[in-house]
Amino acid sequence: MPIVTGKDTAGTRRTLNVAGQSLAYYSIPAAQAAGLGDFTRLPASLKVVLENMLRFEDGGFTVSVDDIRAFAEWGANGGNNPREIAYRPARVLMQDFTGVPAVVDLAAMRDGIKGLGGDAQKINPLVPVDLVIDHSVMIDEFGNARAFQKNVELEYERNIERYKFLKWGQNAFQNFRVVPPGTGICHQVNLEYLAQTVWTDTDQTGAEVAYPDTLVGTDSHTTMVNGLGVLGWGVGGIEAEAAMLGQPVSMLIPEVIGFRLTGRMVEGTTATDLVLKVVQMLRKKGVVGKFVEFYGEGLDHLPLADRATIANMAPEYGATCGFFPVDGETIRYLRQTGRDEARVALVEEYAKENGMWRGPDYDPIYTDTLHLDMSEVVPAVSGPKRPQDHTPLTQSAESFYKVVSEYRGVDMSAAAKDMAYEGDTQVSANDVRKSGAVAGADYRLRDGSVVIASITSCTNTSNPYVMIGAGLVARKARALGLTRKPWVKTSLAPGSQVVSKYLEAAGLQDDLDAIGFNLVGYGCATCIGNSGPLAPEISKTIHDNDLIAVSVLSGNRNFEGRISPDVRANYLASPPLVVAYAIAGDMNIDLTHDPIGQDLDGNDVFLKDIWPTNAEIADLVHATVTRDAFRAKYADVFKGDAKWQAVETVDSETYDWPATSTYIQNPPYFRGMSKEAGTISNLHGARILALLGDMITTDHISPAGSFKPTTPAGKYLTERQVAPKDFNSYGSRRGNHEVMMRGTFANIRIKNEMLDGVEGGYTLGPDGAQTSIYDASMAYQAAGVPLVIFGGIEYGAGSSRDWAAKGTNLLGVKAVIAESFERIHRSNLIGMGVIPFEFTEGMTRKSLGLTGDETVTIEGLEGEIKPLSLVPCTIRRADGRETVITLRARIDTEVEIEYLRNGGVLHYVLRNLAKA
């Protein structure tokens, strides 16, 4: 895909001279001078999209002059003009959990295009693609000096098939690079190294063109780079593949919510506390499908690392992006992290010339606004199962009592923290020493015992202020003789090697090691669900006594069943608080008032005794986080260690699919595909596969973590002589559709309302008996019966994982009917040929009284269906009664109609490439 169309019918191409170089660029002020509209007060985030229109404007179907004028109309309409546009990001970012299936799809498309008589070389990325291997490391070993090396060895042992495949992809495809394991998390690597804020490339005429650095990523937290003034957001792998192959992203010009920040953070608070408050406020506001842009004088006191933390969690507050305009802090960060001086100069000059710079006079029009005085932010956690469940630290223990009360069905009082619950909960410290726990006296577990405390995730480990803060808490605790409780599994998994560099330079890694936070790997780890097993005795005690065990992590997600199968309550917290909870070992303890332990003399120690001052943290950050550290650690970022270099692969145009592989299989999407598109059909006599509640996340639909031999996926692997110890995780098996379709709707905490109180991936089969969702699906498909899913609000929240849509498709589900959808999952369903529908007129699955034995017929889909059409749906009860309701088809754009006619976005692209 070229970076411009080669035309300049709007007359907006100009020349920028900076750092001794002459660069072409497309000027928004020039567009305004040409009479295309007033763009002066557009938010910077929308100006990035507008520039994209200018650069690809050809007066034709893809981008027209009217598309450009629509941005001026957006401002004139008070921040609202939902016109369909075709947007082309500059590059694509992937991680291995989503990247492996994406490369599998590309390999299958090469086979598919040859089957249609086309050229396999047409299946090549046309924009730069970077894949960072970060999701595979699992925490088996912890709490000792050998943890990192042991976990790396196990990672390669488990994933060598996948790594060979990715190396094949790196050789077979153009514009495709792989960042090896052990480097860091894709979003942090992107923020610290890959992103440039302003990109440059050569156009068809040979001229060098400057334009905003933009991207889509196959991970929802791609938004992290918005903190650097780079517009990027998460999409499913299928949408990313289409973008790689030249297909523009079809979208509506979004509303932009302005979030004004004033004041500054006060002593004792962290960026994590700030972002958890922001998540709560924006979830309450409702920003799904919208841009959020941060502005206000508070940004003058907000380091870029804090901005990146806020931007990272855009999926948690539901927005497409959480954008921070380019300003002086952006320039400082680019320079500190080792970007070339010429690039730094270009970013500043370009942003100012094209009206994207946040100066003191920055005053854009927003669709709506919110305000937060940062001086009012307090220390907090979020949990036990949603990021927006913000809880001030002063109320955390009380809040947990309510969790226990709800689960136990009894009214728990504050006295609960002094109770040891009934049952044989005693565990000997000797029993768990072998798995890394510290020695000590025998102990008893109870509801609220913190069994996992993990400093994890790019959200916070990218931020040196909270990481240095965690190290200082460990240092002060160590000096007083405190350490973690013996039942707590502790881990430190930074998002880049730079973190280790400055922790070691500050002497803080020794202190963290002493508390049990030894380095376990560079990757997502606990945040993605790779927390690894607890000691068998601890796991058994939890399950035998049905205890509400707790994890505390510095991640971005705490959805049910995500972190560990042994843990029911998960809390997000800042890295310093993670260390504190490891020492306290119990969620029943009020860290703001209760002692978290005793010093060497037996005196009570409180959180305030080990909490560092903001000045202490800032001094160490300034002394140890240096430009040289970034340049050194990223000097050979694509080279990898000796293990990566030793991975052998084949060199071939198409992939030779190993028939016996349980990791990589040729998916069925393109087999027997015709040269011509079909039509969208009405749905007749569909049965209900599941009735699901509110905020069903993509973790519920397609879990990433471990699974047992008794599950359909476990049975599949066992039948192929794979031992349970070698199952790895669902995430690592995403290159094999046979495993993944068996894991769809298989989260251990998902609840199908067709059943009474049953947890896990179960439903009623055609015979009316309880069975697994997978087995029921296969039986219905064998009988030629289509299926539907019903859900509540915010269906598909969370990760961008395309397997939540792919698995839905392979289970024979033709439609998902819900009260509302999260942005990415709705798009993914369309991309896989599954139609999302929303209830209208206040109707819900509950108001309809659905039980699961109904049949569903949806008409009005054939012929000339339009975006967002209202269609009739007939629900026929088991006794023959019928109810007719109206659904809104969430087919939002004309292009999406074409995708559905083709059976999905990749089918659409493949047919077009075969014809070209």
CATH code, domain carrying 423 = 3.30.499.10
Residues near 659 by beta carbon (within 8 Å), at least 6 away in sequence: none
The answer to whether the bond into 384 is cis (omega within 30° of 0) is yes
Provide, rounded to the nearest whole percent, the portion of the chain with pLDDT above 70.
96
Provide, rounded to the nearest whole percent, the portion of the chain with pLDDT above 90.
84
Residue 415: which domain range? Answer: 380-625
User: Quick check: is 521 in a domain?
Assistant: yes
> For residue 415, what pLDDT is reported?
42
Sign, CA dihedral 525-528-530-535, equals positive
Specify whether the CB–CB gap between 840 and 886 falls below 8 A: yes
> For residue 59, what pLDDT is reported?
60
Classify burial at 801, counting beta carbons within 10 Å of its beta carbon; exposed 0-12, middle 13-18, buried 19 or more. Answer: buried
| pLDDT tens per residue across span 322-331 | 999 999 999 9
Q: How many domains does the chain contain in total?
A: 1
Specify whether the CB–CB gap between 5 and 14 falls below 8 A: no
| pLDDT tens per residue across span 14-65 | 999 998 899 999 999 999 999 999 999 999 999 999 999 999 987 655 789 9
How far is CA 399 from each of CA 317, 608, 629, 827, 893, rounded to the nearest angstrom? 21, 21, 42, 36, 44
* Helix or strand (DSSP H, E) at 521: none
Classify burial at 717, counting beta carbons within 10 Å of its beta carbon; exposed 0-12, middle 13-18, buried 19 or more. Answer: buried
Comparing 60-64, 152-156, 532-536, 806-810, the range with the smallest average pLDDT is: 60-64
User: Quick check: is 231 in a domain?
Assistant: no
| pLDDT tens per residue across span 762-790 | 999 999 999 999 999 999 999 999 999 99
Residue 454 tokens read as 């993990």
> For residue 579, what pLDDT is reported?
98
CA distance 755 to 760: 10
Query: Is the pLDDT confidence value at 294 over 70?
Result: yes
Sign, CA dihedral 436-440-444-448, equals negative
Half-sphere exposure (Cβ direction) of 80: Cα atoms closer than 13 Å: 4
> For residue 237, what pLDDT is reported?
84
Pairing of strands 597-598, 604-605: antiparallel
How far is CA 649 from each of CA 106, 161, 167, 172, 195, rounded to the nearest angstrom? 17, 10, 6, 11, 29
User: Quick check: is 688 in a domain?
Assistant: no
User: Quick check: is 896 in a domain?
Assistant: no
Question: pTM for the whole thing?
Answer: 0.88
Query: Is the pLDDT confidence value at 792 over 90?
Result: yes
Neighbours of 436 (CB within 10 A): 22
| pLDDT tens per residue across span 736-747 | 999 999 999 999
DSSP 8-class letter at 587: T
DSSP 8-class letter at 265: P
Residue 408 — pLDDT band, cuts 50, 70, 90?
confident
Specify whether the CB–CB gap between 315 and 799 falls below 8 A: yes
Vertex 315 angle, CA 582 and 254, to 5°: 160
Which residue do the tokens 């995730």 mark?
Answer: 457
CA distance 303 to 305: 5
Average pLDDT rounded to a whole number, residues 878-895: 95
User: Quick check: is 632 in a domain?
Assistant: no
Query: Is the pLDDT confidence value at 337 over 90?
Result: yes
User: Quick check: is 173 in a domain?
Assistant: no
CA distance 898 to 279: 35
Average per-residue pLDDT for the chain? 92
Classify burial at 647, counting beta carbons within 10 Å of its beta carbon; exposed 0-12, middle 13-18, buried 19 or more. Answer: middle
| pLDDT tens per residue across span 665-674 | 999 999 888 9
| pLDDT tens per residue across span 582-599 | 999 999 999 999 999 999
| Torsion, Cα of 662, 667, 671, 676 (10° steps) | -170
Which residue do the tokens 């001794």 mark?
Answer: 20
Residue 9 — pLDDT band, cuts 50, 70, 90?
confident
| pLDDT tens per residue across span 831-871 | 999 999 999 999 999 999 999 999 999 999 998 899 999 99
Specify whether the CB–CB gap between 862 and 808 falls below 8 A: no
User: Quick check: is 396 in a domain?
Assistant: yes
Classify burial at 161, counting beta carbons within 10 Å of its beta carbon; exposed 0-12, middle 13-18, buried 19 or more. Answer: middle
User: Quick check: is 258 in a domain?
Assistant: no
Please, what is the end-to-end C-alpha distance for the chain in angstroms?
A: 14
Identify the CA nearest to 45 among candidates 433, 323, 419.
323
Q: Is 548 left (phi over 0), alpha (psi -120 to 50) or beta?
A: beta
CA distance 725 to 96: 21
DSSP 8-class letter at 134: -
Vertex 32 angle, CA 31 and 34, to 5°: 65
Residue 279 — pLDDT band, cuts 50, 70, 90?
very high
